[in-house]
Structure 1
Amino acid sequence: MRGGGFYKGTNTEQTPYFGDKEKKLIEKMTWSEIYNYKIDVTKINFDVVEKWIHDRLIQILGFEDDILYEYCISQLKHAQEKADDEEDIYLDSKKLKINLTGFIGSKKSETFVTELLNLLISCEKGEKGDNIHSIIENKKKEMKEVISENNDIIEDIKNIESLYM
């Protein structure tokens, strides 16, 4: 074996056929202005956003898809983790749209990501927009329902205890 056991050929970084396909796709597509906005994910309350994503995906798909929901959340959390490492603190919204297109199609992903970006921008700025206000109101209603259910359960338990004692 000549040459000290070196491999012949080239690696994937040297070959143009195996370049970064996402980067080429991002450059090829036309993007609306909202995708150019830099969203600082460290300023966002993800509790509100996660609930909105879950509800909106059910509306778009017509059924609950936990895999897509977790994938979308992981994309946002990954951007937040990068921000903790002080690499790039901004969300790559173009990459998010491309990644979600494979799951829900081009038109649906366009509307979903545009709405999500509007929500994230308003959350980042601390605005109390219609989306955030309705989400907060829904959360308050949900909490009141849970409290009333808990009170009903406690009453039922007391009634059952009184029967046996």
Structure 2
Amino acid sequence: MASGVDMKLLRATKFPPEFNQKVDMQKVNLQVMKKWIASRISEILGSEDDVVTELCFNLVEGSRYPDIKSMQIQLTGFLDKDTAPFCKELWKLFLSAQGSPQGVPKELLEAKKAELIQEKVGLTSIAQA
């Protein structure tokens, strides 16, 4: 439950329009998203932080329809100025994932494809050397 301070912050903060769309977590492949969340938080903080990562997992898994606005308020103390961009990126991925048949955001599928192509190109050039 949000505290009075959180409620004031929720009302005072301007959120992106994407945050008004609901995400049904039953349509999202949570394992794939957890990997992304953990790596992105480590990237932002400069090291792995199990506490922040687990907090984010709990906020995402806590409800079938998580509240990204409340999540952003709760993560601000940990991610500071990077909280809003992180939450916006996360929400866009969730919205993409719930529209995908596998529950995986197409952005992550495209990134993985590009990574595999790069790997193959690298292996081919090594083999030719």
Quickly name the TM-score band, shorter chain normalised.
0.7 to 0.9
List aligned pairs for 1:96-135, cutoff 5 A. 96-105=71-80, 107-126=81-100, 129-135=106-112
AA partner of residue 94 (structure 1) = K
Higher relative contact order (CA 8 A, sep 6+): 2
AA of the residue aligned to 1:68? V
Match of 1:58 in 2: 42
Which residue number corresponds to residue 49 of structure 1?
33
Contact 1:57 1:64 in 2 (8 A): yes
Task: List gaps (5 residues or longer) in structure 2.
Answer: 116-129
The alignment of Structure 1 onto Structure 2 pairs a total of residues equal to 111
Shift of 1:129: 1.8
Give the letter for the 1:125 counterpart.
G
Distance 1:97 1:55 in 2: 18
Contact 1:68 1:103 in 2 (8 A): yes
> SS at 1:98's partner residue?
helix
Q: Give per-residue Cα distances to partners, 1:114-137, cap 9 Å, x unaligned.
A: 110111111111175222343588
Q: Which moved more, 1:129-138 or 1:31-40?
A: 129-138
TM normalised by structure 1 equals: 0.61
Report if aligned partners of 1:58, 1:64 keep a CA contact under 8 Å in 2.
yes
Q: Could you tell me which of 47, 69, 79 is aligned with 1:94?
A: 69
Q: State the TM-score, normalizing by the size of structure 2.
A: 0.76
Counterpart amino acid of residue 59 in structure 1: E
Q: Give, as a single letter, the amino acid of the residue that structure 1 aligns with 2:109.
A: I
Identity %: 31
- Which residue of the partner structure matches residue 6 of structure 1? none
Letter in 1 for 2:77: G
Structure-2 separation of matches of 1:23 and 1:46:
28
1:59 shift after superposition? 1.1
What does the per-residue CA deviation read over 1:57-104, in whole Å, with 9 as the maximum and x for residues that have no partner?
11111101011001100111102xxx3xxxxxx220100100000111
